[in-house]
Amino acid sequence: MRVYLIFFLLIIFFLSSACEGKIPTKESRPSPSSQISLKQKSTPQRSSSISVSAVGDVLIHDRVYNDAKTESGYNFMPMLKQVKPFLEDTTITMANQETMIGGKELGLSGYPTFNSPKEIGNNLKELGVDVVTLANNHSLDQGANGIRKALSHWNKLGMMYTGVYKNKEDSEHIRVYDTKKGINVAFLSYTYGTNGIPVPKDKPYLVNLIDKGKMKQDILKAKKISDAVILSLHFGKQYEPLPSQRQKDLVQFAADQGVHAVIGHHPHVLQPIEWVEGKQGNKMLAVYSLGNFFSGQDSFPKRVGGIIKFNLIKENGNVEVENPRFVLTYVTSSGPHNYEVIPMHKLTSHQLSNHKQVIREKKQHLSQWMPDLTFIE
């Protein structure tokens, strides 16, 4: 009986050590299934991912708001419904609202000193826009009063805005979008100027002007209270297909400060997109000009714009930009009527006869410095 017991114990010992030998360790060569289970265990705690969309200039000329007029006010939704699916599918969507939405009380106006219906704000919100950047050359078109009226409406809508402010305190408050997904994003916005209308000396907070010293400070503040920084710059030469040296310098400056993405506008046409390396070896997405998203500028290249989309991935506390992708857009109209923003891949020959060739050319132009840029179509 004792012999049997010893024999039994020996069997158990050998079996258990044999089993132990089969348990994969880091050094041993684990089976593919154990590799997957190890990865699954560690990834969820360490990484988060969100997506961002951005559009260029929303520049409401009088012919556009006249076309949007209804019996009770203005409705731009029929003009924008085709791009809605491409704006509401990301965690955060941002737009450059170039014209202040001072509303009817101030008297609506188009070029050169714009004042837009408040309804465009409601419609952007309905489209899925979460953040508007407001620092641009038209910010002061209606003076401090226009800004005050516009901001009060954005506040009423619960829309996050940046670049234009109602007072000093408002201007010192860095906007951080809380996604509730483990990545919070700060939004900053600056313009090269305000079309010769001086920023009132007693109200320097009204508009953020491009100033490296201020930008450096703001970016530093933003980095302390967020996971990623997106910088909106209104800069460059109008109608130029390539960025100027000044744009390039400012974009490099932003990369050196650790910004994650620059979203540029003002030239009214699309400029190529590229990755820019900062001095810490960080990789920044540079979108020099997104063109016009929604405007009444009727000549051909100014009707082409787009939606840049990318992901922000956080791993071990570090956020990286990944998977930039682009939707080309086009503003159609019959003269000053029937304005509509259409994803270019949905255009018909009736709307733009050579659309296939235009799409080919724009894709080539945008991706010439970034071969990994993909297009949604």
Residues 97-136 that bind Zn ion (CB under 5 A): 136
CA dihedral 359, 360, 363, 368 (to 10 degrees): -150
Q: How far is the CB of 285 from Zn ion (least distance, A)?
A: 21
Residue 51 or 116 having the CB closest to Zn ion = 116
Cα 76 to chain center, whole Å? 21
Give backbone dihedrals phi and psi of 277, rounded to 5 degrees, phi first: -95, 130
Whole-number Cα distances in Å, 348 to 23, 81, 330, 371: 61, 17, 11, 27
CB of 215 to Zn ion, least distance (A): 18
Binders of Zn ion among 206-245, rule CB under 5 A?
A: none
Nearer to Zn ion, 179 or 289 (CB): 289
Q: Give min distance, CB of 268 to Zn ion, in A.
A: 7
The rounded distance, in Å, linking the Cα atoms of 53 and 266 is 18
Distance in angstroms (rounded) separating the CA atoms of residues 73 and 76:
10
| Residues in 343-372 at the binding interface with Zn ion, rule: CB under 5 A | none
Angle at 181 between CA 131 and CA 228, to 5 degrees: 55
Environment class of residue 86 by beta-carbon count within 10 Å: exposed (0-12), middle (13-18) or buried (19+)? buried
Among 91, 99, 133, 137, binds Zn ion (CB under 5 A): 137
Specify the pairing of strand 374-375 against strand 318-334.
parallel
> At closest approach, how far in Å is the CB of 59 from Zn ion?
7
Could you list the beta-strand ranges (E) of the chain: 47-59, 92-97, 131-133, 160-162, 175-178, 184-191, 228-234, 261-265, 273-277, 283-287, 292-295, 304-315, 318-334, 337-343, 374-375
Q: How far is the CB of 136 from Zn ion (least distance, A)?
A: 5
Q: Are the beta carbons of 51 and 310 closer than 8 angstroms?
A: yes
In the complex, the smallest distance separating the C-beta of residue 103 from Zn ion, rounded to whole angstroms, is 21
Supply the minimum distance, in Å, between the C-beta of residue 54 and Zn ion. Answer: 15
> Which is nearer to Zn ion, 247 or 257 (by Cβ)?
247
Q: Binding marks (x or -) toward Zn ion, 248..277, rule CB under 5 A?
A: ------------------x-----------
User: For residue 305, what are the contacts with CB-CB under 8 A and spacing of at least 6?
Assistant: 55, 56, 57, 270, 290, 291, 292, 293, 294, 328, 329, 330, 331, 341
Residue 24: cis peptide before it, omega within 30 degrees of 0: no
Residue 315, Cα to own-chain centre: how many angstroms?
21
Rounded to whole angstroms, the Cα distance separating 373 from 11 reads 62
**Residue whose CB is less far from Zn ion, 184 or 244:** 244
Query: Closest CB to Zn ion among 289 and 329?
Result: 289
Q: Is 154 exposed, middle or buried (0-12, 13-18, 19+ CB in 10 A)?
A: buried
Nearer to Zn ion, 96 or 282 (CB): 96
> Judged by CB under 5 A, how many residues of this single chain contact Zn ion?
3
Shortest distance, CB of residue 138 to Zn ion, whole angstroms? 6
Angle between helices 143-157 and 119-127 (to 10 degrees): 40
Q: 185 or 308: whose CB is closer to Zn ion?
A: 308
Residue 102 or 264 having the CB closest to Zn ion: 264
Please report how close the Cβ of residue 129 comes to Zn ion at its closest, in angstroms. 18
Instruction: Select the residue whose beta carbon is closest to Zn ion and give its number.
Output: 266
Token pair belonging to 17: 């050590």
| Measured distance CA(67)–CA(262) in Å, rounded | 33
Give the residue with the Cβ less far from Zn ion, 121 or 267. Answer: 267
Residue number with CB closer to Zn ion (32 or 196)? 196
Provide, rounded to whole angstroms, the least separation between the CB of residue 234 and Zn ion: 6
Rule CB under 5 A: which residues touch Zn ion?
Answer: 136-137, 266
